Amino acid sequence: GRYSMLPRHVQRLGRDWITHWNGSQILALNSPVSSCMRWAGHYPPWASFPLPFSADFSANWRFPHFFGPWRPFQNSNWHLDNYTQSCCFHLPNPSMKSEGEEPLTKKRRLSGQDDTSTPEQETDLSNQKEVSCLSVAQDEEKHGSKKGTIKRHWEYFCQQSKTMKVTKNKRSDQSSTGKEATFDFTVMSYNILSQNLLEDNSHLYKHCRQRLLFWTYRFPNILQEIKELDADVLCLQEVQEDHYRTEIKSSLESLGYHCEYKMRTGRKPDGCAICFKTSKFSLISSTPVEFFRRDIPLLDRDNVGLVLLLRPRFHCKANAAICIANTHLLYNPRRGDIKLTQLAMLLAEIASVAPQQDGSFCPVIICGDFNSVPGSPLYRFIKEGKLNYEGLAIGKVSGQEQFPRGQRILPIPIWPKKLGISQNCVYEIKQQKKEEDAGEKLEAAKPDNTQEIVIASEKLSSKLRHHFKLSSVYSHYFPETGIPEVTTCHSRSAVTVDYIFYSAANDDTAAQPGAEDSFCGGLKLLGRLALLTEKDLWTVNGLPNENNSSDHLPLLAEFRLIER
């Protein structure tokens, strides 16, 4: 067999050698095989093979007979008990999870955030975990109960916010009268991992046991998460169309949600959904956004967005509205030009839906998987409302790669004029009307400055802008340690790519600087469900795992609508 020569040439096999026992349990070194132990880290060239046996390795441990001839052990009895008691592997890097799965340290190829764990921290972790190998039957019995769950806690920004569903307390009566018109509600953003995409990218989930990846196992877990968190508005990404039609929609409707869905325009059968509690909101309008344009070569990807305008049912003015947008931008780290164009298209649609009768915008919430890391140019553009992209490399737009391949620079302008969207991220027709109105006033006052205005406009051609003053619900780093928060974690990456952005009210203490309110009222962030670190997630074998059945964490925030 393949391993018959292993005892005589063990050093030639390097890092990847496998010992089978009981015909089912696998002991793997540095190989992403389920229910295994593996080496972590790399070895120097002078170390041809790092012996895995501890100094007190017992001769009671034997290779099974099918493993090949090895005279000293051929006729001896092998027992798992003898092995576990007298011969544990001592791993040099972070230990396995307590359930015998994978080490905490993973290779990251596309992460924009560095691993902040120090060797001392990793050593402490290895001391906290015990490495054990069990037979398949023992392993399944151990995993039969829900263990290894990481608890996420609520972070409150307002003392008046004590109505989260986690505490099982009833929400305050929002129809009561008061001096200040308020309306409290919760919003969740959750990439639930399309089964089709999971199967197409199975290399990202080598750390998972196979049974945890079946949709029949995953969907009940996802639905249970949604039930427990009980958000008033759900913004879901990677919602597979056939699952939505047969299971997801009906399940959410039974929980009191109304669902709106937009499927991707290409061959991949997933899309975005926005679902809201009919007891809290009524639907004013629903607008799908397709980022594919047949006549524009740049826009050849099938990503989509969805924009809803909702009317609160309680304690609000008759014309009160909230704009909820949901999207999943292109993943490709080297196509920042497409990402920015897709974002501009979404912002243009929001700008066409959100204006109120007095000309101001209603409060806006934008959720989704933006496939961009905190601090990247795309992220800064969303929060700051402006981006000068002159000389910016396409591969650096999203910040997904620390050392992006290729040095191609963003063209000026990024998208062609026939897209019909201006550099201010609004539809050209509305932009032209505003410019014409402003131009008439300007011409009456200073008719000789027309040429100067044109020249100034040409100079600003590399500057993108949008009209929304947005804050992020999450701060992306833990203030005490500076360790990054993580929203997605799989075999190759652990990073933040999911966000909830919102238009903050003037008195919102959680809003970031520069997010002053220019809207009709605004939103006050009352609380959020705390995120986790990468180290936290690998203690339960990353994502997906026994209890969390997506490779993303759900984001959840509570807001208060404040009207003027």
CA distance 219 to 192: 9
Say whether the peptide bond before residue 544 is cis (omega within 30 degrees of 0): yes
Mean pLDDT, residues 473-492 taken together: 97
Range of weakest confidence among 1-10, 48-57, 190-199, 418-427: 48-57
* 263 pLDDT tier (thresholds 50, 70, 90): very high
Rounded mean pLDDT, 391-412: 93
208 occurs within a structural domain: yes
Cβ atoms of 266 and 193 closer than 8 Å: no
One-letter identity of residue 197: L
Helix (H, G, I), strand (E, B) or coil at 48: coil
**311 touches 282 (CB < 8 A):** yes
More confident residue, 473 or 34: 473
> In the 8-state DSSP scheme, what is residue 169?
P
Question: Which of 355, 345, 380 is closest to 501 using CA atoms?
Answer: 380
Could you tell me the pLDDT band of residue 511, with boundaries at 50, 70 and 90? Answer: confident
Pairwise pLDDT comparison (371 vs 21), residue with the higher score: 371
Q: By C-alpha distance, which of 163, 183, 356 is closest to 282?
A: 183
Q: How far apart are CA 503 and CA 362, in angstroms?
A: 9
Q: Is residue 83 part of a domain?
A: no
- φ, ψ of residue 203 to 5 degrees: the values are -65, -20
Domain count, the chain: 1
Residue 467 included in any domain = yes
Q: Other CB atoms closer than 10 Å to residue 442's CB: what's the count?
A: 14
Band of the pLDDT at 66, cuts 50, 70, 90?
A: very low
Asked whether residue 473 is assigned to any structural domain, the reply reads: yes
Distance CA 460, CA 204 (A): 42
Q: Give per-residue pLDDT as tens, 537-564.
A: 999 999 999 999 999 999 999 999 988 6
Kindly state the average pLDDT of the residues 376-398: 97
Amino acid at 320: A
- Indicate the Cα dihedral angle 533, 537, 538, 543, nearest 10°: -130
Q: Does residue 121 fall inside a structural domain?
A: no
- Residue 441: the pLDDT is 54
As a whole number of angstroms, the distance between CA 47 and CA 83 comes to: 26
Kindly give the interhelix angle for 377-384 and 336-353, rounded to the nearest 10 degrees.
20
List all residues 6 or more positions away from 34 whose beta carbon is below 8 Å from its beta carbon.
101, 207, 208, 209, 210
Residue range 489-510, pLDDT digits in tens: 999 999 999 999 999 988 777 7
Among 188, 228, 196, smallest CA distance to 215 is for: 196
- What is the structure's pLDDT at 390? 96
Q: Which of these ranges, 26-35, 373-382, 387-396, 512-521, has the smallest mean pLDDT?
A: 26-35
Is the pLDDT at 265 greater than 70? The verdict is yes
Higher pLDDT, 425 or 145: 425
Structural domain boundaries enclosing 414? 180-426+461-563
Side chain identity at residue 387, one-letter code: L
Q: What is the pLDDT of residues 221-256, one digit of tens each?
A: 999 999 999 999 999 999 999 999 999 999 999 999
Mean pLDDT of 64-81: 42
Please name every residue paired with 500 in a beta bridge, in sequence order, or none if there are none.
Answer: 367
CATH assignment of the domain containing 203: 3.60.10.10
Radius of gyration of the chain (CA): 27
C-alpha distances in Å from residue 520, one per residue of 63, 175, 426, 525, 563: 73, 21, 19, 16, 7
Reading the block at residue 56, the tokens are: 């007190």
Distance CA(373)–CA(111), nearest Å, equals 8
* 39 lies in some domain: no
pLDDT at 439: 57
Strands 494-495 and 488-489: antiparallel
Kindly give the residue spans of alpha helices, DSSP state H, lying in 132-239: 136-142, 195-200, 215-229
Provide the sign of the torsion angle of the four alpha carbons 9, 11, 16, 17, taken in this order.
positive
- 323's tokens: 């704009």
355 upstream amide cis, omega within 30 of 0: no
pLDDT tens-digit series, residues 437-448? 555 555 555 555
431: in domain: no
Of residues 205, 268, 259, 213, the one with CA closest to residue 236: 259
Output the CA–CA distances (angstroms, integers) from residue 176 to 172, 182, 434, 462, in the order listed.
Answer: 9, 10, 41, 50
Any bridge partners for residue 327, and if so which?
305, 368
Residue type, 298: L
pLDDT given at position 91: 31
Domain membership flag for residue 330: yes
**Above 80 in pLDDT, residue 315?**
no
SS3 sequence of 359-400: CCECCEEEEEECCCCCCCHHHHHHHHCEEECCCCEHHHCCCC
The per-residue pLDDT for range 194-204, each reduced to its tens digit, is: 999 999 999 99
Distance separating alpha carbons of residues 258 and 387, to the nearest angstrom: 37
Question: Under a CB-based contact definition with an 8 Å cutoff, are residues 70 and 7 in contact?
Answer: yes
Task: Give CA separation, 313 vs 54, 87, 181, 360, 525, in Å.
Answer: 67, 65, 13, 21, 20
Q: Residue 64 pLDDT > 50, yes or no?
A: no
Structure tokens at 532: 């986790």
Q: Work out whether the CA dihedral 40, 42, 44, 47 comes out positive or negative.
A: positive
